């Protein structure tokens, strides 16, 4: 305790000398909101195998119990996204009340358009009118669920695509998608938003109907102001300049949501910030620049989207939340006046060093101080691991029916 306080005082003094309003930085950190996904607490796996974890959640209520632990120790994860039908229940009002009893809210509702045999040739883009109707009806069901639980976000990942050249007509699929999304959008009451996610490949390996941010923003612009783009950090080709995409979407007023995770090769099932923390910081640098621009209206739903396969679920989620907190804290400490001056004068080295100096800061003492002021333990992961919760649920859940995100693996 004394160690982090001493380190915090050194950092605070240094920032005060630079003219940083430390109270404003703390206020922003305390107000941070990071949604976690229900599926991040359940068993998950690869195409080859699901390694079952004794302590993994098996029911939606168990997922909420685990999510409550993440919020309990981080203080900034008060909502949980649902995936339907993985989280299908008979009474969503009762589920919402149960979440509230744990200090949580129910967040984005995610339709599932990729785990039905009928969707082999597509869901909302399918050449079959009856299958498009089935997919759309499922999305409309999710709108009704969102109304019931008080969620304002429908988070749509469309797995539709073409697996072989000549299989379908690109423009016909585009028009089918426009038609189905228009009906979905029209059924969503204000202020409910449609967050349109994209992914450059998979599960179709020839072409993806929403393969990049341009295809998503095009659909959003055709729908209306409550249709936004959702950026998933794991859904881009390697080397993509995601921070530039973020800046463009902010400038167009179409950045609606984030799925934070990390990828090494082809998907997004690694702990946030575990591979390239500098990229995460640079993305947050653009987000903070948008937050601090009075001409920009930032209404972004920040969510972690991870399904780690062998790490304990809650511990990994806490790691992800903490890494996001650290990226945000560093971005808040960028000397933006000096940066703008360096950019305007063409001083490339000074501009880069200004950004790097914020990235190199050890913000852990600052976050520890913020947590203490919020009545939390300075180290969320250590506090959780010392609580005995994991050992308790391992005993309670041992031998119960396996739960997960929809497949059993080999």
Domains of the chain in start order, with CATH, are 32-334 (3.20.20.150)
Which CA distances in Å does 254 have to 186, 196, 231, 347?
18, 10, 11, 31
Whether the CB-CB separation of 20 and 358 falls below 8 Å is answered with no
pLDDT tens-digit readout, 30-79:
999 999 999 999 999 887 889 899 999 999 999 999 999 999 999 999 99
Q: What is the DSSP letter of 402?
A: P
**What is the structure's pLDDT at 143?**
98
Does pLDDT of 108 surpass 60? yes
**What is the structure's pLDDT at 400?**
74
Partners of residue 233 on adjacent β-strands: none
Q: What is the dihedral of CA 377, 30, 94, 134, to 10 degrees?
A: -120
**What is the structure's pLDDT at 407?**
45
Other beta carbons within 10 Å of 119? 20
- Give the chain's mean pLDDT: 95
- Give the residue-averaged pLDDT of 216-223: 98
Give the C-alpha separation, 192 to 62, whole Å. 27
- Give the whole-number percent of the chain exceeding pLDDT 70: 97
- Give the residue-averaged pLDDT of 215-219: 98
pLDDT tens-digit readout, 304-325:
999 899 999 999 999 999 999 9
Two tokens, residue 303: 């969510």
Does pLDDT of 101 surpass 70? yes
More confident residue, 202 or 324: 324
**What is the structure's pLDDT at 3?**
81
The Cβ-side half-sphere exposure at 384, using a 13 Å CA radius, reads 23
- Give the whole-number percent of the chain exceeding pLDDT 90: 92
pTM for the complete prediction? 0.96
**Is residue 265 very low, low, confident or very high in pLDDT (cuts 50, 70, 90)?**
confident
**What is the structure's pLDDT at 10?**
95
- Give the residue-averaged pLDDT of 219-233: 98
Whether the CB-CB separation of 54 and 80 falls below 8 Å is answered with no
**What is the structure's pLDDT at 46?**
82
Does pLDDT of 403 surpass 80? no
Two tokens, residue 194: 């449609």
Q: What is the DSSP letter of 87?
A: T
**What is the structure's pLDDT at 274?**
95
**Is residue 350 very low, low, confident or very high in pLDDT (cuts 50, 70, 90)?**
very high
């Amino acid at each position: 305790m004394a160690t982090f306080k001493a380190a915090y005082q050194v950092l605070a003094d240094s920032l005060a000398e630079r003219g940083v309003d430390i109270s404003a930085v703390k206020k922003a950190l305390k107000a941070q909101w990071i949604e976690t996904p229900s599926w991040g607490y359940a068993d998950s796996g690869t195409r080859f195998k699901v390694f079952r974890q004794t302590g993994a959640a098996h029911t939606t209520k168990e997922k909420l119990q685990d999510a409550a632990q993440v919020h309990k120790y981080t203080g900034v994860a008060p909502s949980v996204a649902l995936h339907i039908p993985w989280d299908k229940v008979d009474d969503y009002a009762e589920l919402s009340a149960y979440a509230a009893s744990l200090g949580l809210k129910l967040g984005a509702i995610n339709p599932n358009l990729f785990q039905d045999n009928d969707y082999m040739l597509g869901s909302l883009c399918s050449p079959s009118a009856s299958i498009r109707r089935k997919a759309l009806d499922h999305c409309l069901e999710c709108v009704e669920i969102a109304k019931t639980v008080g969620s304002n976000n429908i988070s749509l990942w469309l797995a539709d695509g073409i697996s072989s050249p000549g299989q379908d007509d690109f423009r016909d699929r585009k028009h089918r998608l426009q038609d189905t999304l228009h009906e979905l959008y029209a059924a969503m009451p204000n202020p409910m938003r449609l967050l349109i996610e994209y992914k450059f490949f998979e599960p179709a390996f020839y072409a993806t109907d929403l393969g990049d941010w341009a295809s998503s923003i095009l659909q959003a612009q055709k729908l209306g102001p409550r249709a936004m783009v959702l950026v998933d950090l794991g859904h881009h080709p390697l080397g993509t300049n995601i921070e530039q995409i973020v800046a463009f979407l902010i400038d167009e007023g179409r950045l609606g949501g984030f799925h934070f995770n990390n990828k090494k090769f082809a998907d997004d099932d690694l702990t946030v910030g575990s591979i390239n923390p500098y990229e995460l910081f640079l993305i947050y640098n653009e987000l903070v620049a948008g937050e601090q621009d009075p001409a920009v209206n930032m209404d972004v739903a920040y969510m972690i989207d991870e399904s780690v396969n062998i790490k304990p679920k809650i511990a990994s989620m806490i790691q992800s939340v903490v890494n996001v907190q650290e990226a945000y804290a560093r971005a808040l400490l960028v000397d933006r006046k000096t940066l703008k001056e360096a950019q305007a004068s063409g001083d490339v080295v000074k501009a880069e060093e200004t950004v790097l100096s914020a990235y190199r800061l050890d913000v852990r003492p600052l976050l520890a101080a913020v947590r203490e002021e919020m009545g939390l333990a300075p180290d969320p992961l250590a506090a959780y691991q010392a609580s005995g919760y994991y050992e308790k649920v391992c005993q309670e859940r041992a031998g119960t029916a396996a739960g997960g995100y929809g497949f059993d693996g080999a």
